[in-house]
A and B are shown apart, each in its own frame.
Chain A
Amino acid sequence: MLITTLQAGAQPDVPDIEFTPATNENGSASGSFTAEEIGGKWNITITCNYTPWGGYGTFKVKVETHKDEVIRFITVDGYTTGASTRLHVRGTNQYQACGPVEYIQADMPNEVKLVELWMEGDLGTAPYTGQDVIEGFDQIGGVDIVGDVYGDIVTTGVSQNSIYVIKGDLHGNLIALDGYHRDIKILSIGGSGGNLYGDIIAENGWIKSLIVDESIGSPGAPVNIWSRASLDYLECQDLYANIDTTLYGLSAAIYELRVESADPARGNFEGSINCGYFENADDPNDGNDPARFVITGEQRGEITIARDQLESVDFGTIMADTLFSIGYTLLSKSTMNINGSSTDPKGLKGQIIINSTNGSFSWDGTVKVDGTVLSPVPYYDNKSVDLGGGAVGLVPFSTHRVSCSPVHGR
């Protein structure tokens, strides 16, 4: 049954859609909508027709539905002359979310922003097929989903700085074609959910904070975490990912990466990490707050610093299957502290290569393993067995005088 109304009538389950302002200067309606229920799901099409009074303005569209209602789609089209359109999607009560939504899309020539989406239930439908579940918006303000996401969320605007809270699993990609991702939290509830199975991409911005209660990716199925500018903070219990902050014309930093778990079988990393360098930009003078790289479990993959390593960084363990490369110089003010774990402090089990680009770069900074400085550099005397079995080498390599077989001179 086709329903066209500007107010929720006697049927309390009809979506309540409100336009602010409701009319244009000439008295015409600033927008209209159709809400059609098919198979128990609402198809909502909103057509904007707003011309701001006397210049640029803001046009607000509010969609409120009861959390027991299911929305197949919300489409926002039409135009707003010289104005920004803002969409709010939530429940009929300001303390409640709306119900499940399959997708939300905007198709407007002017700027349109999804200011808030608060919903209970899944966004999209299983299984993940690569379909966009939120598209066409220049900016997303805040998304709060109590459920899983099966689809991609794509934004286009420079001012994009979204905050996502997903209490479930994210099966899909978060893509900011411009702007940045401010905070992404993927949480578990009662042991369910809290996994990221898609890519996080900020093609022209940075990723400020990515917190995942459980795992990022899965064994054999790593996800991509790419940003043009820095990746400030990442936290999860297992990381199966290819992280890259060098793809989009810059070689940006990673500030802090924590892959930790109280479960001794977790805290694992598999994949690759490419960055310009490790740095904590909030601590530019390298005071008490260095960059941090903590992986408490198994590591399999490559970690590449494309340029100079500028600042100090604290590591847990560099595992045997990890190749850690610094493309240029380990600068003199940089200290790599390899602290191991509380049960095994000799944390250098893998290989660290400096000047991996085979240029004329150098090892000027300090490498410490369990508090012991490797010296003299680059041909240090510290034995591999005392470090954890691994080594640090400056390209071009030379054999260690003692940690080799046969020992040098014999």
Chain B
Amino acid sequence: MEYGTINILTARSLGLLAGLTVWLGLASGTALAQDDGFDWATIGDPGNRDTLPDEVPQWSELEIGGVDYEYRIARTELTVQQHFEFVQAYWEYLPRGERTKRAFTGQWIGVAGSMDDPQYYIRSGAAKRPADLTWRHAARLANWLHNGKVMEQWAFENGAYDTSTFGYNDDGTFTDQAERNPDAKFWIPSQDELTKALFWDPAKNGDEGGYWMFPHSKDTVPISGAPWDGGETNAGAHPDDFPPLDVGSYPWAASPWGLLDGSGGQSEWTEFVPDENRSIRVRRGTMEYESFPDHFDRLDQWRSGTPYGVSYGIRFAAAIPSPSTIIPVLLGLSMFTRRRRHR
């Protein structure tokens, strides 16, 4: 091949090489190119320890964050656009009275029409804002992703979470499946998984590893303010200061693994159901304009949410793609390389 000649085959090989480079960067947490419509970060360093008491001074008994396997987690919270796909696909399976409620649409999806013929739309400018949805709808969305977004009701009702378990006991506790199915491809992150992705830094403390107090790789409170004013979060700000922002508006305020909006945006669901209180799922973090980020965004502060009726944000976790999907790429690259040498 002549130097300086760029042909289609060369361009394809360059693309394959670029993809391989990105894949090799996963182990250190470099973000993948988007797949499944999500921008994933791979969380490595399996076997990291839980928090130590002096890392969680406001709740010294807390021991969280240790995860002994690799997994992926979305760099940003679910967007309104992503939520909108689900709303449009699932509404017909909902009881009529729930189709136009905010518990289904969240605050950024509007509804024209009626309960029998709802016409959903994304509110002006809101497509990239963080979505808010109930835990149960987030679980259905995880199921749908697991099942490849098949447009049939079964695809929403199992996969990651069996929705036939969703119900209540007389004492107010719920009967919902506590944890994801073992073979779930997409799921709502556990408390440990979310903690590790937002707070654990393998390079902290001279490479011993440690937890930051706040989710932007610092032990100091994120600065409330607009991105163009040097802010690090829209929590703690006032709605009169600046309008609602898209996800990822503070790229300089990332977790050690590249996750954004750990403060502000939306408060985020986890999968965790405490044994001592089976009427809640645990959530963390502030939402936009919410007060007291210096308290609620801390590593040692976790809050509650019932799985129905109240809507918060979500960033999904996902399995690492299996090696079988990588081998064809490597074989293809290898074959191409041999052809080049023979020219």
Contact = CB atoms under 8 A, between A and B. Distances in A.
B309 A288 contact: no
A256 to B, nearest CB: 8
Contacts of A235: 101-102
A24 to B, nearest CB: 19
Contact of B172 (A86, A146, A209): A146
Contacts of B95: 262
B1 interface: no
A77 to B, nearest CB: 22
Interface stretch (A92-100, A129-137, A268-276): A92-100
Interface stretch (A47-55, A161-169, A367-375): A161-169
Contacts, number: 103
Query: Which of under 10, 10 to 19, 20 to 34, or 35 or more describes the interface residues of A?
Result: 35 or more
Interface residues of B, number: 45
A141 B291 contact: yes
Contacts of B107: 209, 233
A261 B172 contact: no
A141 B102 contact: no
A282 B123 contact: yes
Given A93-B276, A159-B291, A289-B110, A211 B302 contact: no
A69 interface: no
B34 interface: no
B146 to A, nearest CB: 28
B277 A289 contact: no
Nearest to A285: B124
B136 interface: no
Interface in B287-343: 289-292, 294-295, 301-304, 306, 309-310
B304 A118 contact: yes
B291 A260 contact: no
A288 B124 contact: yes
B125 A115 contact: no
A341 B306 CA distance: 33
Nearest to B121: A288
A115 B295 contact: yes
B310 A289 contact: no
A165 B168 contact: no
Interface of B: 59, 62, 95-97, 100-103, 107, 110, 112-117, 121, 123-126, 168, 170, 172, 238, 274, 276-277, 279-280, 282, 289-292, 294-295, 301-304, 306, 309-310
Interface of A: 58, 86, 93-97, 115-116, 118, 139, 141-142, 144, 146, 159, 161, 163, 165, 167, 182, 185, 187, 189-190, 209, 211, 213, 233, 235, 258, 260-263, 282-283, 285, 287-289, 292, 294, 296, 314, 316, 339, 341-342
5 contacts: A96-B277, A115-B291, A118-B304, A209-B107, A288-B124
Given A142-B303, A289-B121, 5 more contacts: A94-B62, A141-B290, A182-B290, A260-B97, A285-B124
